[in-house]
Amino acid sequence: MEERRLGPVVGLGTWNTFGDDDVLAASVVDAALGAGVRFFDSAPMYRGAEASLGAALAGRRDETTVATKISTRSVEEGRAMYGRQIEWFGRVEIEQMHNLASWREHLEWLEPERGAGRIDKLGVTHYASNAFDELAEALRTGRFDVVQLPYNPHERDAEHELLPLAAELGIPVIVMRPFGEGALLRRSPPVEALRELGVDTWPQALLKWALSDPRVDVVIPATRRPEHARANAAAGSAPWFDAEQRRLVERLAGR
């Protein structure tokens, strides 16, 4: 099971941040790379982010992992998305079936791509807990190598079934929305509490909260600010939180 792990690491998400702005993408991605980030998540529906991410990663693809998605129910359109991704990224390390769209149909043409070594891993994602039963069903087929799901102190539904199942099956977990799309950052706890946790910032505490669950491999916070990318990356190393520190983060996050 251990060699299948991807983390624990901090990656970079790309939804709603730099879109097709190549200059902004380059500055955020450069900051992330400089801080040691090597994992990047994108999707065709992120308004041009795949293309600008691909440009920002040029020359660094041998040391980076791109996790992107097939975001359509149509197999024909899915193949076209994959073709564009090959142009932008050279290859795709992790291809995820976005929001469970036609996942059985997409597996049929993507499994041979993985078999031929053109894709390393196939994944499946959903953002909504009412889709978690189907996400679990997909994992139980044994055909997926990775799962992406939401997990933060305000969204813990994954603890009921998906995180235990992923651990049982040895499937690495990528955590989307570690800040609840920013909602968890509206207020910051007192400096003394952060000191007790051994972190400098509240976002770092939230990232460490997720990564300190041994079933979690990668967190993919999104930002349009290079300094945030650097600060977030600093949460990707030990020491990890113990159970008591995780409970403290949960209390601080409130509701």
Which residues of the shown chain bind ligand NAP in the complex (CB under 6 A)? 13-17, 41, 98-99, 125, 127, 148, 176-182, 185, 203, 220-225, 228, 231-232
| Residue count of the chain | 255
In angstroms, what is the minimal distance from the CB of 173 to ligand NAP?
A: 12
What 3-state DSSP class applies to 174?
strand
In angstroms, what is the minimal distance from the CB of 99 to ligand NAP?
A: 6
Contacts of residue 188, Cβ cutoff 8 Å, sequence gap at least 6: 201, 202
In angstroms, what is the minimal distance from the CB of 3 to ligand NAP?
A: 25
Residue whose C-alpha is closest to residue 72's, from 113, 41, 101: 101
Angle between helices 162-169 and 132-140 (to 10 degrees): 10
The first and second tokens of residue 51, run together, are 């293309």
Q: Which is nearer to ligand NAP, 182 or 214 (CB)?
A: 182
Residue whose C-alpha is closest to residue 46's, from 176, 209, 226: 176
Q: Which is nearer to ligand NAP, 157 or 181 (CB)?
A: 181
Q: Which is nearer to ligand NAP, 156 or 242 (CB)?
A: 156
Q: Which is nearer to ligand NAP, 65 or 125 (CB)?
A: 125
Q: Residue 51 and residue 56: Cα distance in Å, rounded?
A: 9
In angstroms, what is the minimal distance from the CB of 104 to ligand NAP?
A: 18
The CB-nearest residue to ligand NAP is 13
In angstroms, what is the minimal distance from the CB of 156 to ligand NAP?
A: 14
CA–CA–CA angle 70, 76, 81 (5° rounding): 35
The first and second tokens of residue 85, run together, are 């991704």
Q: Which is nearer to ligand NAP, 51 or 115 (CB)?
A: 51
